[in-house]
Amino acid sequence: MDLKVLVSSLNDFASLSLAESWDNVGLLVEPSPPHTVHTLFLTIDLTEQVMEEALQKKVDLILSYHPPIFRPLKHITWKTWKERLVIRALENRVGIYSPHTAYDASPQGVNSWLAKGLGVCTSRPIHPSKAPTYPTVGTHRVEFSVNSTEDLDKVISAVKEIADVSVTSFSTRTDDEEQTRISLNCSQEALMQVVAFLSQSRQFYQKTEILSLEKPLLLHAGMGRLCTLDESVSLATMIERIKRHLKLPHVRLALGVGRTLESPVKVVALCAGSGSKVLQGTEADLYLAGEMSHHDVLDAASQGITVILCEHSNTERGFLSDLRDMLRAHLENKIDIILSEADRDPLCVV
């Protein structure tokens, strides 16, 4: 499959518009075209050990969940390990693609996979994503009233000369007086021109309302998941479920104040990877994350919320098997998709 076609299909699978604004997602390293992909290689972290494995397996594109290029690189030398990754990828004609928080937010992404380990439950995003586009033209709505047909014609004629403005009008009655209400949808750039025109007339300007339009929220996409179990279980049972789902012999546990291993768990707030900002302030019996700051764990525990931490990438890596199967179906088995065997969390219990 041609690299550009594959990247387009990957973007269709989970839109990069779901990614956080601070993130660095998409195609990060591109060999000179044309570039045909026979084998796609999945990993959570692209370390030098994982790169060596990928080259030995002669892959054509690496999907690295975490972006190996995050902060801008000022030079590409052999000095640092991330620079060496770029050099080796280009020398061996291997592309690098990273979805990161787009897959965090996706309805079929890592957080939905993590929720599967809890048992039968209903879930929703803790912080829903916004749609990529506005429901109407423009980012702002400007509304004001005019009294006479002459004024109406003058206003409509003037604003139609401004780019990125759509105009509608309707009749209203205020204090037994017939008026025409003008509603303009416009872009941020056009808004300044609209305001400049209206400010020339005190009659219009003093009665003008300016509304900032919001992109609609998406019901099933967003950061974190708030999961409500069909039937509550003891904390001890939930711990075993999580360990089994993540294939971990140990997890880290902070009991909420007044809680024991026999305390019931009905509502779980979870966030794969780093959970502090996403989970903060969420009401639940249990927080599940890869990592949280020391003080955020203390805050949660003080409120009676138990915290389970599993290390950052341990809450993400198991998702790759599901991702492989979903991508095989999405790409109609046109390419080989394999998982890294060298990829692992850098921390272990000794």
Q: Residues forming the annotated binding site for a divalent metal cation?
A: 66, 104, 312, 316
Placement of tokens 């105009």 in the chain: 167
11: Cβ contacts below 8 Å, ≥ 6 apart:
26
> What does the radius of gyration of the chain's CA atoms come to, in whole angstroms?
26
Strands 127-130 and 217-223: antiparallel
Write out the binding residues: 66, 104, 312, 316
Cβ 127 vs Cβ 52: under 8 Å: no
Helix (H) or strand (E) holding 199: none
Q: How many angstroms separate the CA atoms of 163 and 141, rounded?
A: 14
| Neighbour tally for 309: CB within 10 Å | 19
Q: How many angstroms separate the CA atoms of 98 and 88, rounded?
A: 17
Which two three-digit tokens encode residue 331?
Answer: 């790409």
Residue 219 phi/psi, 5° resolution?
A: -70, -35
Residues for the chain: how many in total? 350
> Chain centroid to CA 341: how far?
26
- Decide: helix, strand or coil at residue 124: strand
Cβ 268 vs Cβ 285: under 8 Å: yes
